[in-house]
Amino acid sequence: MGYENFRKLFKATTGVSPQRYHIEHLMKQAKMMLLSGLPIKHVAVSLGYGDIYSFTKQFTKSEGMPPGRYIRNRHR
């Protein structure tokens, strides 16, 4: 099966593209790691981001707030 057919079938089945599914999975892991007390830099590296800035940009885009604010909001 070619990628385009896979992508269409995946999206029809899950409701999201493979890329979006992957990002949502990473952000779910990131939130658990952040709430467990791991430093943002450690979370970024553990999830395969080249630097903290790329991770922060993706996290903010996905979650609507940067990781530091997410941690503060959850610990209130």
pTM for the complete prediction? 0.85
**Tens-level pLDDT at each residue, the chain (76 residues):** 899 999 999 999 999 999 999 999 999 999 999 999 999 999 999 999 999 999 999 999 999 999 999 999 987 6
Whether the Cβ atoms of residue 2 and residue 9 lie closer than 8 Å to each other: no
Q: How many domains does the chain contain in total?
A: 1
Name the 3-class secondary structure at 20. helix
* Domain of 21, in residue numbers: 3-74
Can you give the CATH number for the domain in which 18 is found? 1.10.10.60
* CB-CB neighbours of 28 under 10 Å: 11
How high is the pLDDT of residue 15?
96
**39/37 Cα distance (integer angstroms):** 6
How high is the pLDDT of residue 16?
95
Q: What angle do CA 74, 71, 39 make, to 5 degrees?
A: 145
